[in-house]
Amino acid sequence: MSRTRLRFSKSYMTFLSVALLLSACSGSSTDTATTSATQAKEKVAINNHSDDGTDKIGLSMPSQYLERWNRDGKYLKSVFEEMGYEVDLEFAGNMIDTQIDAIDAMIDNGCDVLVIGAVDGLSLTRVVEKAYYAGIPVISYDRLICNSEYISAYVSFDNYEVGRLQGEYIEEALDLENAGSKTYNIEFIAGDSADNNARYFFDGAMDVLKPYIDDGILNVPSGQLDFYTVATSQWSTESANIRFEILIGSYYSGANRLDAVVCSNDSTALGVEAAIEENYKENNSVLITGQDCDEANLVKLMESRQSMDVYKNLTYEAYVTVKLVDSLYNGKEMSQELADGWDLGFECTYDTTTYDNGKIVVPSFLLKPVTITSDNAVEELVDNYGTYVLTDDGTLKVAE
């Protein structure tokens, strides 16, 4: 399937100019921002005059070591290729320099658009600026790229909602609203502090549970409530396991009963579950949350060794990303009407207020996560699972 080189319209360039002006309101010099916008528009216009006959997608994923990123990267690559794109997929191994070097190479090799799941959203400022001046739009995928006015759009799930679902599960499972004189012990395992999403997950859960902590219904025996204290570098299962073994030995080796652990994702949940199974001596079942519905965690969920998970249909996220790239290619403006016109069959919200990356509020396309328990796992993950296929007319639809 041949395609002409990706060209972005005046409406796209208008957005970039507005983004730069917004960044001036965030503390940059207005004169500098305006000059940069003018220079960048000229560079994009020059770049768009060339034509090599193909559209090249630079696809940079943070790690091949977590199941979900393997799924994201491979699925995105397959769908883009089915639509006629040439795709350069690179995994960064959770190494910032490795990701930067790979993106640099994608730019130098003439990619037309970059889709980036960041290892560290704070560390890509230079390479993203380089992409912009080369006329290459950047889509921030799943993890927000921060401190840059050169981000075209953000595609993700509602990350705050993920944490809120975890907090609400604990609230309902322990019936905290009707606790009366009952009290419960809870601990928190957050994600990587370098991952912008981790803070949204933590804040979503904490906003639900903090009132019960303030009222003394929930106790945190370790006293560890600060995000950076409970954060887990690189979402590591081993790091979560070591920390939680220490917590059990320090605070739950006697008569203290552990009732719940809010784990921000599945890899950290695995570490916590192993620590509890090997070191916790009480007979009660501990409520444990998760996110991503990784295979190992779903096994534990069905065996009642993990209480809940949060499902983010990565097929949906990849599909929205593909639709967004194609829409920009066809000169369409980002809006809720654009998302509605994709006829997705699932909820996608266009958000222009939430995701401030330190320079601009990045226009975002947000998807809705789903709470998964052993009661609804089959329905949500098997019966309702949507896999997209390319039809003969070149469009995508959910497979029957």
Residue among 365, 354, 235, 215 at smallest CA distance from 292: 235
Cα torsion 104, 108, 109, 113: sign: positive
Output the pLDDT for position 328.
Answer: 82
Which has the closest alpha carbon to 316: 300, 335, 339, 336? 339
pLDDT at 392: 58
Contact in structure between 271 and 238 (CB atoms under 8 Å)? yes
For residue range 115-139, what is the model confidence (pLDDT) as tens digits? 999 999 999 999 999 999 999 999 9
Cα–Cα dist 148/72, whole Å:
24
| HEC assignment per residue over 228-288 | HHHCCHHHCHHHHHHHHHHHHHHHCCCCCCCCEEEECCHHHHHHHHHHHHHHCCCCCCCEE
Three-class SS string for 191-233? CCCCCHHHHHHHHHHHHHHHHHHHCCCEECCCCCCCHHHHCCH
| pLDDT mean values, one per 10 residues, the chain (400 residues) | 39 38 35 35 33 79 88 89 91 96 97 95 96 95 95 95 98 98 98 92 98 98 98 96 98 92 98 97 96 92 96 89 86 94 93 94 96 92 60 51
Q: Please, are residues 338 and 329 in contact by the beta-carbon 8 Å criterion?
A: no
In 3-state terms, what secondary structure has residue 384?
coil
Q: Tell me which residue of 372, 284, 362, 327 sits closest to 83, measured CA to CA.
A: 327
How is residue 357 written in tokens?
A: 């990356």
The DSSP symbol for 176 reads G
Residue 393's pLDDT is what? 55
pLDDT computed for residue 284 by the predictor? 95
Instruction: Spell out the alpha helix ranges (H) of the chain.
Output: 10-25, 30-48, 67-82, 96-108, 125-133, 159-173, 196-214, 227-230, 237-251, 266-279, 295-302, 314-329, 336-341, 377-378
For 92, the 3-state DSSP assignment is coil
